Amino acid sequence: MTCSSEGTEKRLRVGVVVAILSILAIVAVPLVLAGCRAPQPADRAPDAEVTIAAPDAQSEGQAAADPAGTKAETEPDTEPDAEAGSAPDEQPPSLADGTPHDVTAADFDANVLGAEVPVLVDFWAEWCGPCRMMHPILESLAEKYEGKLAVTRVDMDVAENRSLAREYNITGIPRILLFKDGEIVGDWTGVSPDMEEQLADAIDRALTK
């Protein structure tokens, strides 16, 4: 009986040790495996530098409607302005600048009949003494009515101007005609002592009508 009791006690001790080792093995093995496990994607922190937010529907619609919209907003408009770059319509120079001007049959319609101001026309020739007497009078009137009256001269010795002599029945010179809106409003032949006063009165009336 003594031997039998000791054997039983030894078996109990062995059984306890085996049980303890089994418990330790059950607890320790998962811990060891957990320590060796590679980190899963859920355990990793997101990388903020490479995160790209998906565009919303409104942004996608704007980009599809105007793919060059961003470029148009950021780049300056380098195209020339059509209105700024275009040259204005050239206008004929005004003859109402305070000095007498020579006109011919070629430009008579534009400079006399189409003028926006009254025009005094002197039909003359170099060989005509009374015609030369008119020159200072014409210069004085041109200066006096600068900006309001155009003073012009037609040389009757120029062949192309003879058509004007026929058209306006120029039979003697100096012949002075005053035009307004393409119509004759004054007509003088020859030179008189009060010629400048006569012309000035007629010019004043033409300007006030």
**CATH code at 183?**
3.40.30.10
Residues with active-site annotation? 128, 131
122 near 154, Cβ under 8 Å?
yes
State the residue range of the domain holding 159.
101-208
Domain count, the chain: 2
pLDDT, position 138: 97
pLDDT, position 39: 45
Rounded Cα–Cα distance for residues 192 and 208 (Å): 25
Rounded Cα–Cα distance for residues 154 and 161 (Å): 7
pLDDT, position 139: 97
Rounded Cα–Cα distance for residues 79 and 200 (Å): 55
Mark the ranges of the chain whose per-residue pLDDT is less than 70.
Answer: 1-12, 14, 25, 27-93
pLDDT, position 16: 73
Q: In what order do the strands lie in the sheet with 150-155?
A: 101-102, 150-155, 119-124, 175-180, 183-189
Rounded Cα–Cα distance for residues 102 and 189 (Å): 19
Residue 71 lies in a domain: no
Q: CA angle 155-161-164, nearest 5°?
A: 110
Instruction: Report the Cα 136 to chain-centroid distance in Å.
Output: 48
pLDDT, position 88: 46
pLDDT, position 64: 47
pLDDT, position 20: 78
Residue 46 lies in a domain: no
Count Cβ neighbours within 10 Å for each residue of 127-164 and write b for 16 or more, e otherwise.
ebeebeebeebbeebbeebeeebbbbbbbbeeeebeeb
Q: Domain check: are 109 and 187 in the same one?
A: yes
Q: Domain check: are 27 and 126 in the same one?
A: no
Residue 43 lies in a domain: no
Q: Domain check: are 204 and 112 in the same one?
A: yes
Q: Residue 101 is encoded by which pair of tokens?
A: 């001007």
Residue 77 lies in a domain: no
CB atoms within 10 A of CB 41: 5
Full-model pTM: 0.57
pLDDT, position 85: 46
pLDDT, position 93: 59
Kind of pairing between the strands at 183-189 and 175-180: antiparallel
Q: Residue 163 is encoded by which pair of tokens?
A: 């058509």
Residue 16 lies in a domain: yes
pLDDT, position 134: 96
Q: Residue 178 is encoded by which pair of tokens?
A: 């005053």
